[in-house]
Amino acid sequence: MTLSRVLARPLLASGFIYGAVTALRHSQELTPKAQPVADKVVPAAKKAGVPLPEDTQTLVRLNAAAQIVGGLALASGKAPRLGALVLVATTVPATVVEHPFWSATSPDDKTSQRLHFVKNLSMVGGALLASADTNAKPGLAWRAQRAAKDARREAGHLATSAKREAKLAKANVT
């Protein structure tokens, strides 16, 4: 693993983990903000077969816990791509809930919320990059394509060999 990965992954994860711990500690305060999003997401998730609790505070805590686990996975280098994807999936709704700059009334609050909103979008961008980072190893898609290509080539060799053997067998019989 390169030095940049050793440094960058924990640095990126630290912002997510810090925000998640804060959300976990202040879940009662975030629950009313999260209620409108939960009212839309929970029925859609249940319709899709995803079992989600109906209690909004539990959803806030689950989201924070998922961010902590995803951040630790990214920071430690154990399943960093999966951890980064978890961070992306959990940060987008959290950002909408925590930083709704479009509904802020005062100019200072609007500016502050917009700054945090954009900062979170930047972190999501970093996590998307981290989720695509294969650490200079072939990704799953490349390995699957390579295996299919190798299988086709081997099947062609076997077919050619079988034809030769059949011709030899036919020549020996007659």
Query: DSSP letters of 78-98?
Result: SSHHHHHHHHHHHHHHHHHHH
> In this structure, are 70 and 147 located in the same domain?
no
pLDDT digits (tens, 9 = 90+) for 86-119: 999 999 988 988 888 998 899 999 999 999 999 9
Looking at the structure, tell me whether residues 31 and 47 fall in a common domain: yes
Confidence at residue 170, expressed as pLDDT on a 0 to 100 scale: 86
Which residue stretches of the chain have pLDDT < 70? 1, 136
Number of domains the chain is built from: 2
State whether 155 and 130 are in the same domain.
no
At 121 the pLDDT is: 94
Asked whether residue 115 falls in the same domain as residue 36, the answer is yes
- Report pLDDT for 22: 94
Does 12 share its domain with 74? yes
pLDDT for position 1: 64
This prediction has a pTM of: 0.74
Determine the structural domain holding residue 126 and report its residue range.
Answer: 3-137
